[in-house]
Structure 1
């Protein structure tokens, strides 16, 4: 069942006023009819939009006596909330949690905002708006039929589509370029490619400036190479998650090919509004790419 936002609730009230059936409103917003009736009843009673309340318990009201005691102790001892908690318990025999002391001192401007007590920043998803803007790729050792093999894969950052992949006995730059050539033939060349700082992609001596076969390969195709931050695997997190799927499902599905088909065509992805990567790839293409694919298809028919 979906969680309704303030905007959803305003829309429900407006559509209800225009005579839209409750059944249709419930189906459109993926909620029960009872929930729609609750919103309408609350609006009728108050005349205001019944926006969702902030989850969690509301802070308890601090007694005036407690507030007076804390402020007096702070004036006397000039201690922070944690130490003041111990001092008040020792001297006055009264336990006041340091979080409560912090709230009192903060309200009266006695302390500054503690960054650790601030709400955690909402999780932000970093992805490109359009397909073919960026591919991210990497090598991963996996166990197949009791043997350790090396899997190379590249994923479209926007749609999560696995554009090309291969399994080899060892990870090399030659095999990396070979797999990318396959991907280029099928999908064309992306604007940028993101990799880590492995020796298959960059020079071990001087990653920033030294010539490397892979770097020259990308330059010859007009592709910008982006290197992930050192010791920061989250930068390549999407392809790493795909590797985890391969490790969990390759034995069950019987092959890496089957896992890739499942990932691209069957598995709905929450970041794609529960669409499949193979579908999301096409509707996330920029217009100029769509025209290019149409021209390639027409040329292939001739």
Structure 2
């Protein structure tokens, strides 16, 4: 069936009828998808009636593009499974399944089913964007304060700057230099040596008098410690954005009675974020695990061939060995995060 064409008076008549009998019913009678009628209704609400009738579409020759039932089902299933997704992320997720649907069609379906776009604030100045050049070159760390049954708890997050992969997290009742040290050490043992760590100047990360235990640990491990500029949250923008996402999508959506309950739900959220959720900050089609584990090119090639990459597992650990080049030219070999050779001579 070809595209359908309606003048503004016909659109108005269909919208008015939809408000009486329902959008899906009116759309069926008109022979269009209900999202199209919903779109006309929105335009009518933003204009006075006379302006709507006089409005001339920019491209009147295109007609109404039909959204198939399979496309609608795929859009709604993806969105219901991933309620935090916006239209762009739904499009990317479907593209990873080998399904190509325009973002305009996806947005129409979501808006007609209750999606409320986030209000974006206009930036007065464009912040300078920085990204590490490889996994583990730079990590970001931050602490988010939360409440479980009115009790205050803290989420410590450690992410890889290059891939946005969550290297580790701890949900604790009290913060300390020991807690953040354990988190960093666990990440190094599991994934390899971190070359540089970016944090704010919170008391667990930084001491205004001398040097605290965490700073001593980083110095001993040969990890450069960089501090975000005061009153400049953009420096830690990647981990700050992750904080906000976890808070909005998990802790504001579900009630937890205990720390253990929250930790279990958090583990599932982190696994989904790392391995199943396309990330807009790394191109929109890749998940953090693919970029972190060096699978980006392979995944993009398969996506380009319309292959379904969503069923693949990304539980591959990083190599047990990695080389780190220090600013002074020293090359150190690390095995499971522990230095074993420096400049060709045995370490220690």
| Post-superposition CA distance 1:147-170 (Å, at most 9, x none) | 321000110000000001101111
Aligned match of 1:99? none
- 1:136 maps onto 2:134 in alignment: no
Aligned match of 2:169? 165
Quote the Cα distance in structure 2 between the aligned partners of 1:262 and 1:31.
Answer: 23
Aligned-pair distance for 1:277?
0.3
Aligned match of 1:260? 270
Gaps (5+ residues) in structure 1?
A: 1-29, 33-119, 298-302
Quote the Cα distance in structure 1 between the aligned partners of 2:173 and 2:217.
Answer: 22
- 1:272 maps onto 2:272 in alignment: no
Aligned-pair distance for 1:264?
0.8
Quote the Cα distance in structure 2 between the aligned partners of 1:233 and 1:143.
Answer: 22
Residues 121, 231 of structure 1: CA spacing in aligned structure 2 closer, same or farther, 3 A cutoff? closer
Quote the Cα distance in structure 2 between the aligned partners of 1:227 and 1:178.
Answer: 19
Quote the Cα distance in structure 1 between the aligned partners of 2:248 and 2:292.
Answer: 25
Counterpart mapping for 1:146-295 below 5 A: 146-205=150-209, 210-251=210-251, 252=253, 255-274=265-284, 275-283=286-294, 292=321
Quote the Cα distance in structure 2 between the aligned partners of 1:145 and 1:194.
Answer: 31
1:178 counterpart SS class: helix
Counterpart mapping for 1:60-71 below 5 A: none
1:177 counterpart SS class: helix
Gaps (5+ residues) in structure 2?
A: 1-99, 103-123, 255-261, 297-317, 323-333, 337-348
Quote the Cα distance in structure 2 between the aligned partners of 1:296 and 1:224.
Answer: 19
Residues 131, 148 of structure 1: CA spacing in aligned structure 2 closer, same or farther, 3 A cutoff? same
Quote the Cα distance in structure 2 between the aligned partners of 1:284 and 1:191.
Answer: 21
CA contact (8 A) 1:143 1:247 kept: no
Residues 201, 121 of structure 1: CA spacing in aligned structure 2 closer, same or farther, 3 A cutoff? closer
Counterpart mapping for 1:18-167 below 5 A: 124-167=128-171
Aligned-pair distance for 1:284?
7.9
Aligned-pair distance for 1:216?
1.0
Residues 201, 291 of structure 1: CA spacing in aligned structure 2 closer, same or farther, 3 A cutoff? closer
Residues 237, 123 of structure 1: CA spacing in aligned structure 2 closer, same or farther, 3 A cutoff? closer
2:146 counterpart SS class: strand
CA contact (8 A) 2:191 2:319 kept: no
| Post-superposition CA distance 1:52-101 (Å, at most 9, x none) | xxxxxxxxxxxxxxxxxxxxxxxxxxxxxxxxxxxxxxxxxxxxxxxxxx
CA contact (8 A) 1:141 1:148 kept: yes
Per mean C-alpha deviation after superposition, the further-off stretch among 165-174 and 121-130 is 121-130
Aligned match of 1:58? none
Aligned-pair distance for 1:271?
2.0
Q: What is the number of residues matched between the two proteins? A: 174
Residues 296, 145 of structure 1: CA spacing in aligned structure 2 closer, same or farther, 3 A cutoff? farther
Residues 121, 245 of structure 1: CA spacing in aligned structure 2 closer, same or farther, 3 A cutoff? closer
Residues 147, 193 of structure 1: CA spacing in aligned structure 2 closer, same or farther, 3 A cutoff? same
Residues 232, 121 of structure 1: CA spacing in aligned structure 2 closer, same or farther, 3 A cutoff? closer
CA contact (8 A) 1:162 1:264 kept: yes
Q: Which has the larger radius of gyration?
A: 1
Aligned match of 1:80? none
| Post-superposition CA distance 1:74-132 (Å, at most 9, x none) | xxxxxxxxxxxxxxxxxxxxxxxxxxxxxxxxxxxxxxxxxxxxxx9866521111111
CA contact (8 A) 2:127 2:234 kept: no
Residues 121, 151 of structure 1: CA spacing in aligned structure 2 closer, same or farther, 3 A cutoff? closer
